[in-house]
A = this chain, B = another copy of it.
């Protein structure tokens, strides 16, 4: 048993969206279902392996739905669940904040 309780809601929220990519994947799915390759294009810079891992974790967390059409060539479609949508909604103000201060954030020295 690692940690049975969070100190606050922010703690819990940061935990479920942990990692470098989950939030961007969420964002990439906001306009509707996407196939694996489409998600990959929505999230520039992510490797196939990492995308797979992140999507699996998000599926376990109930944030995304994975639908495998079991056909060849393969077709798998990912979409936000209600739970994932509600998280994304809660992230909108943060996204707005980031957009508003992007120039300033970019100007912060990186070391």
Contacts and interface: CB of A to CB of B under 8 A. Distances in A.
Interface residues of A, number: 46
Copies of this protein chain in the complex: 2
Interface in A1-22: 2, 4-16, 20
21 contacts: A6-B106, A7-B43, A8-B24, A8-B98, A8-B99, A10-B24, A10-B98, A12-B98, A12-B102, A12-B106, A13-B94, A13-B105, A14-B98, A16-B98, A60-B108, A60-B109, A61-B108, A62-B108, A83-B101, A89-B93, A90-B93
Interface of A: 2, 4-16, 20, 23-24, 27, 43-44, 60-62, 83, 86-87, 89-102, 104-106, 108-110
